[in-house]
Amino acid sequence: MFTLNCRGKLLATDAPLIMGIINSTPDSFYSSNINDDILELAGSMIAAGAAILDIGGQSTRPGSRRITAAEETTRVLPVIELIQKHFPQTIISIDTYNSKVAMAAVEAGASIVNDISGGDMDELMIATVASLHVPYICMHMQGNPETMQEQPHYTDIVKEVLDYFIAKKAQCKNAGITDMIIDPGFGFGKTIEHNFSLLKNLKAFTLFDMPVLAGLSRKSTVYKTLQTTAADALNGTTVLNTMALLNGASILRVHDVKEAQEAITLFNAYKKAP
């Protein structure tokens, strides 16, 4: 079990947690929730079992267009402030690789920083997170969102991603970050085969003695393998989420909270069986 200090709110991972995705961007690979009422969406996710709501204003899908920090801040701050006002006990995560956005979001009520670049796209990010005293989700990505899926290549993906986190753990610790969450970065600079290899070997990442986050929701690994679409990838997502739970995931980052909670409930019952 891990306990994360989210600006005074303690988040325990004695059972797997759900992070609900709320996109505040028109440029998302799966956008069913963008036009929904944000407050209604947040409330339904919380009621269904989400412990964290992850707010993002910069699309990071393959080939996405990078926007300015000012534009990203304009997109996410009203959402964070609205959720913080109506659901003050809910833990909010800001999905950004920009340190200025992270700082503004935490000042507005966010209490976790979720960075797809592990600090590699903004050299000030790790120091900024340390100064904010919030948990840091550090993800592995090869390349950047604009080009990451063009020709991803690894000699041994599990070893290389493990080596990456060995270095990042030391870097974050030296900077003063006390709560770090590992995200192997499914779909970020990785082929479908790479993603399945990471999923199959996910237990290796629990050796860092940190929570492991799995973000598989409706990604191309699911729908391309099943020869379907992101819109029809819910069942496949649930299957892969269950595999992630069996292999040590502490947090599931999902679009569909109800189904993820059902997977966790069944997983918990399975674990308790004699």
What percent helix, strand, coil does the chain show, rounded to 5?
A: 45, 15, 40
Q: List the Cα angle 249/192/25 in 5-degree steps.
A: 75
- 169 catalytically annotated: no
Residues in Cβ contact with 39 at an 8 Å cutoff, skipping those fewer than 6 apart: 82, 83, 86
| Amino acid at residue number 134 | V
- Please tell me which residue in 61, 75, 190, 219 is annotated as part of the active site: 219
Query: Is residue 173 annotated as part of the catalytic site, yes or no?
Result: no
Q: Which amino acid is at 265?
A: T
Under DSSP, the state recorded for 26 is S
Catalytic residue among 224, 253, 258, 272: 253
| Residues 113 and 94 sit within 8 Å (Cβ to Cβ) | yes
**Residue (of 120, 181, 116, 190) closest to 157 by Cα position:** 190
Are 179 and 130 in contact by the 8 Å Cβ rule? The answer is no
**How far is the C-alpha of 117 from the C-alpha of 125, rounded, in Å?**
10
How big is the chain, counted in residues? 274
- CB neighbour list of residue 105: distance below 8 Å, 6 or more residues apart: 55, 73, 76, 77, 80, 92, 94, 96, 113
Q: Which residues are catalytic?
A: 219, 253
